[in-house]
Amino acid sequence: MKKYKDVVDLHDDHGRLVASGIPIAALSPLLNPAIQKIVSFVKQCVAVNLQGVQTSLATGEVGGKWSMLRGRSTKVDLVGNAEAVAKDLKETLQVKPKDDTEVKVLKDGKYLLVTVPAARLNAGVEYTTSATAVAAGLCHVIIDKFNVDMWDSDLVHAAVWGRYPQTMDMLGGNVVSLLSVPQQNEGMGYALRNVLAAHIAMITRKNSMNAAALSSILEQTAHWEMGDAMGNFERFHLLGLAYQGLNADNVVYDIVKENAKTGNLGDCVRSTVKRAIDDGVIKPLEKTKSGYTIYTTNDLNKWNAYAAAGLMAGTMITCGAARAMQHTPSVFIYFNDLLERETGLPGVDFGRVAGTGVEMAFFSHSIYGGGNPAVFNGNHIVTRHSKGFCIPCVAAAVALDAGTTIYTPEKLSGVVGEVLSEVPELREPLKYVNEAAVKIKGEV
Amino acid sequence: MPEYKPQYYPGNTLPSKNRKKYLDPTYKLQKLRTISDDDLIRIMGHRVPGEAYKSTHPPLEETGEPACPIREIVTPTPGAKAGDRIRYIQFTDSVYFAPVTPYVRAWMYHTRYRGVDVGVLSGRVPLEARERDLEKVAKELVETEIFDSARCGIRGATVHGHALRLDENGLMFDAQRRYMFNKKTGEVDYVKDQIGVPLDKPISVGKPIPETELRKRTSEFRVDGNAFRDDKELVSFIERIHRLRTIAGFDPEKVKGV
Amino acid sequence: MSKEKRMFLEALRRKFKEAPEEKYTKFYIYGAWRQSKRKREFMEYSKKIAKQRNIPMYNPELHLGAPLGQRVLMAYRMSGTDIYCEADDLHFINNASMQQMWHDIRRTIISGLDAAHTVLQKRLGKEVTPETVNGYLEILEHALPGGAVVQEHMAEINPELVKDCYVKVFTGDDELADEIDPRFLIDVNKQFPEDQAKQLKEVVGKKLYQVCRMPTATSMSCDGGTMARWAAMQISMSMIDAYKLMAGEAAVGEFAFAAKHAEVIEMGTLTPWRRARGPNEPGGIPLGYCADMCQASRVKPNDPVWVALEAISMGAVLYDQFWFGSYMSGGVGFTQYASCTYTDDILDDFCYYGADYVKKKYGGFGKTKPSWDVIKDVATEVSLYGLEQYEKYPACMESHFGGSQRAACVAAGAGVAVSLATGNSTAGINGWYLSQLLHKEEMGRLGFYGYDQQDQCGSANSFSWRSDEGLPFNLRGVNYPNYALNVGHQSAYAGIVSAAHGGRNDAWTTNPLIKIAFADKNLVFDFTHPRLCFGKGALREFMPAGERTVIIPTH
């Protein structure tokens, strides 16, 4: 990796200074241990709806909605025996005693949070290992522990795995990973982008700054995975992650605070421009006949990072004021339109955020598909077009919504969001990433 | 370095200067007519005047809010606080010298108003906001110089008409005939609400602005008015944005000091 | 009356009572839908159907507020012809020629014969000569449409239903071509002008390719993924018959592999999960393939603008009407996003203006390298011209009553012109994107809600070379990520590719095999003059294939 001169001040989610002068490489997914742990947890952690398994077995309703197998039923008290099930499952999954396998019982036995040992994932190349290992392990535990005989073993499979393998994914199953099956990814490197904004909002318990951080980490890491954050583009993504997702130099929080009571999106544009001028990121180039000043920059990547931070702040002000998520695409388009017409410089991601906003506005306000902002993600054909700069804002906006939609984040996320919010690094990523960056600052 | 002053919009011709004016929130939009609050509510058609606002969730004070540093500092609008539904008002602007164009609407809505969701299509501009916030904004949109009763329409559906020739009274086409020209008064009366439900009685939105006046107020470029090609500053501004985006897409490091 | 010459004025004068320059007209006096012959016809059918089935049907009086037709319902002129029709005639469900164009594309599979011959000769020691090839082809002409060749007691297909199914071959080797039965040959020398034939023969060389056309009836009942499989099955069976092999020996597995995978050229590749379709569906067909399927280039080689306009019409029907209008959505919304590019000679006017500008300023087509100055100059000038025509002629503005229609036509003119100037389609598309940004600023409006997603991303993604951004424009299609969502672009995109190569006198744009494969006079659709063929479909003068008359009651 190249050596970058940039250093930033790290701030927490409330805008308080954590550390100064941290090299941006300390925030890179390639080097920051907390980001690597977060990414690993995304692979390792799986949610199990034990109540769901029990109900499916008892009713014969397996393999998706309205799939009801008359005459098929077996009663096992999984919820009542959740601790025992958890213990057996842990033993089944463990590679070595006292390794990083964990099975936590939640909600009085209704859910399990399973952390599959990293050794299992490292023994192969797939990231679906956690889901398949847990599904397989749970089948073993149910059949062995509850003496389910051969004639009902197929029902156990369906209650756990859903309609797989007739479907490519676990349709109607009760083992859920944050990641989708590879066949559902749009292209190479898209796995980490295929996470609903709803999940992000629920995992971070609707803390908007942490929602932005977690989403930005996943989105931007994906851009390393797909090869986009390479060469001259690496710094583009590093600065974007730092400023937009991780509140570097407190730019996001400062602009929000400045406009918190009465400000609107246009005010956020002007705050962004002023901040960029004050920090020496942009400067006047020339004046036109009408007296308009065209601005220039010697560091377009840094300008992009500031603009992206301003975009995040603009989202928080607009959607925060309305306590509604639906405004997000409007912010994407018009923040950039106004910013470009204010400065003569390209907007965030050089037009790609504006374009993504146009598409998302269409698909969140019409008959053609899509839905409310919570259903979108970086893998969605509507919102994949910006390389990591839109979805973090969507996640932040979804977190700020007070309940204006019918398909709420709760409904969309279901078990996954609730269970994975028990993982501290996923719930409060900003804190852990900042701490890790401080730890390694001398080594990068 | 000279102190930063917001500039809103480039360009050296009348339409550009009008666009800049409309975008500048410190410029007070000139009031041209008065529509009563109740009449505006009737035209929008979301509630009957006097009826309580319907909500989509309980008031924020009742439910409390999740722990979030942004919620702690960002003040919700009155409509958000109360839990109002999000409703809309939608405008169509004729290509014949209407005061504002769809994108100009979007830009100025975001520079002037808080917590608004605006979309733009060639033939309609939906504005969605919490209902009581929307009503406040809508007043300015209909009473001021950015609305012309003949060349702008308030229409929720079947919006066809922005690009059609004008009728014999100079009105923009409306497939649902929500408004009619009142020959006696010389004013335009709304006879249906914005979704096309007949009103109990017509509501006047005033006389059309004469075209000579519209041509001074318009933010539209037209070859039979102020031609875009004559605003060399604005044309080269857009060419610049395109060029910088193109080069940045190839390699952002190649855009330096330009 | 304007004294200026514009290609679209004749159509406008026919569509409207008033002169094209007139700004005022009348509304609300036309009797709504009753002014349209087609809609009156629809109403008649609907009344009968509703009675018969006891479920109501088409009823324009149910339209929100007031039925459509409060304004003049315009006639449309098929550009480049003197055919006039109604908008309804251009909905692909109502137009048999549009349907046939799509079937002819979907049912085409190209596969190389050389690998199969190598299996026969090297693995099995069999002799392969032009005589044996002709023998094999005759058997395949029987087997491909559903005749049994090796097995007893088979259920076969009625030839009358599948009479559009056959195989042809082509090669770049004149000697070999002379020995192939002319009934089975696409003769490159006869089908193409000399210069194009030379280019094509040089690149194909001595290789021999077969082009299988599966029945339209198969295309109507099954999907694109069927085609390579159907072809492979019957190719393999015909090989067994022709070369007297065991009916299922190990070597036959190699024919199947060759025919289904190794040697096959599909028209379209797979699309991902969210819009999943198999091969040979519109989602997987690159723009350059569409441009190559268009055969106008061999009948009007000296008019690359004409050729581009014909390619545009094919792109409009294939991508905008079929793919976006139906596969991705459905119903009635999309016809007019597409038809604006091939009606009323409006786009034609813009493109010829651009071509003249390029000729005057740059000395002809393909004479200048791509550069920022050329893109800026040509795209800006043609865009301003197009915008000004809409403003000068209110009837033109009214004909393209939707912003997306105007956006597509103005930018198409710009993109085609840049392509003509530079011979580089990626430069051409960059010109399109500049046009869209200028248009948005000029009119202060552009297209429908999501129209310009790809146009905002497009500047940066024109010359990007990153993972899922970079790709030469010829190879992009509706599965290129930015392009996967929005109607009103791909039509013109096919023309931008076409123009780049037409201006350079290239015999093909992307795939020479596809160019030759569609130079086939037995195809049901006329790929040499698509717009004329669409017009015939609109007038109900086009006879498609796959009719089921022989197997259904008379009615």
Q: What is the mean pLDDT of residues B113-137?
A: 98
Strand partners, C168: C211
Q: Measured between alpha carbons, how far is A241 from A234 in angstroms, rounded to an integer?
A: 11
User: Per residue in B36-94, pLDDT tens?
Assistant: 999 999 999 999 999 999 999 999 999 999 999 999 999 999 999 999 999 999 999 99
Q: Residue B122: list chain C partners with CB under 8 A.
A: 402-404, 406-407, 443, 445-448
Question: A273-277: long-range contacts at Cβ-Cβ below 8 A with a sequence spacing of 24 or more?
Answer: A273/A339, A273/A342, A273/A343, A273/B4, A273/B6, A274/B4, A275/A251, A275/A306, A275/A310, A276/A303, A276/A306, A276/A307, A277/B1, A277/B4
Tokens of C283: 């989602």
State percent of chain C over pLDDT 90. Answer: 95
Q: Please tell me the distance in Å from B82's CA to the nearest CA on chain C.
A: 30
From the list B69, B107, B119, which residue is nearest A365 (CB)? Answer: B119
pLDDT for residue C251: 87
Q: Measured between alpha carbons, how far is B124 from B156 in angstroms, rounded to an integer?
A: 9
Q: Which residue has 């959740």 as its token pair?
A: A82
Strand partners, A61: A68
* pTM, 2 dp: 0.97
Q: What is the mean pLDDT of residues B167-175?
A: 98
Q: Chain A: which residues have CB within 8 Å of chain C?
A: 183-189, 226-228, 233, 346, 349-352, 354-356, 358-359, 361-363, 365-366, 368, 380-382, 384-387
Q: Which residue has 């893998």 as its token pair?
A: A379
Q: What is the mean pLDDT of residues C494-523?
A: 98
Tokens of C485: 């969502």
> Range(s) for CATH 3.30.70.470 in chain A?
44-177
At residue C271, φ and ψ (nearest 5 deg) are -115, 155
User: Per residue in A177-197, pLDDT tens?
Assistant: 999 999 999 999 999 999 999
Mean per-residue pLDDT of chain C:
96
User: Per residue in A212-262, pLDDT tens?
Assistant: 999 999 999 999 999 999 999 999 999 999 999 999 999 999 999 999 999
Query: Which of A202, A209, A236, A323 has the most B C-beta neighbours within 10 Å, making it the best mutation to test the interface with B?
Result: A323
Q: How confident is the model at residue A280 (pLDDT cuts 50, 70, 90)?
A: very high
Mean per-residue pLDDT of chain A:
97
Q: What is the mean pLDDT of residues A363-386?
A: 95
Res. B2: pLDDT tops 80: no
A-C CB pairs within 8 A amount to: 85
Res. B166: pLDDT tops 90: yes
Which A-chain residues 167-226 have CB contacts (< 8 A) with chain B?
205-209
Closest CA to A402 of A327, A332, A311, A310: A327
Are C339 and C7 contacting, i.e. CB atoms less than 8 angstroms apart?
Answer: no
Res. C1: pLDDT tops 60: no
User: Per residue in B208-258, pLDDT tens?
Assistant: 999 999 999 999 999 999 999 999 999 999 999 999 999 999 999 999 999
Res. B1: pLDDT tops 80: no
Mean per-residue pLDDT of chain B:
97
The class of domain A7-31+189-440 in CATH terms is mainly alpha
Q: How confident is the model at residue A2 (pLDDT cuts 50, 70, 90)?
A: confident
At residue A105, φ and ψ (nearest 5 deg) are -90, 130
- Could B235 and C404 be called an inter-chain contact, meaning their C-beta atoms sit closer than 8 Å? no
Are B98 and B214 contacting, i.e. CB atoms less than 8 angstroms apart?
Answer: yes
ipTM of the complex model: 0.98
Query: Cβ–Cβ contacts within 10 Å for residue A70, how many?
Result: 6
pLDDT for residue A309: 98
DSSP B173: P
- How far, rounded to the nearest angstrom, does the alpha carbon of residue B191 sit from its chain's CA centroid? 22
Q: How confident is the model at residue C3 (pLDDT cuts 50, 70, 90)?
A: low
Query: Cβ–Cβ contacts within 10 Å for residue C533, how many?
Result: 26
- Could B164 and C446 be called an inter-chain contact, meaning their C-beta atoms sit closer than 8 Å? no
- Could C398 and B238 be called an inter-chain contact, meaning their C-beta atoms sit closer than 8 Å? no
Q: Residue C441: list chain B partners with CB under 8 A.
A: 228, 234, 238
Tokens of C407: 């956006």
> Range(s) for CATH 1.20.840.10 in chain A?
7-31+189-440
pLDDT for residue C259: 84
- Angle among Cα B98, B120, A208 to the nearest 5 degrees reads 140
> Strand locations in C108-194, DSSP E?
108-112, 166-171
Tell whether A324 lies on the interface with B, counting CB pairs under 8 A.
yes
Give kind and range of the element (H or E) at residue A1. none
Complete edge-to-edge strand list for the sheet that includes strand B179-182: B179-182, B187-192, B198-204
- Angle among Cα C504, C506, C512 to the nearest 5 degrees reads 155
User: Per residue in C387-421, pLDDT tens?
Assistant: 999 999 999 999 999 999 999 999 999 999 999 99
Q: Residue B4: list chain A partners with CB under 8 A.
A: 273-274, 277
Res. C218: pLDDT tops 60: yes
Res. C123: pLDDT tops 70: yes
The class of domain A44-177 in CATH terms is alpha beta
DSSP C420: H
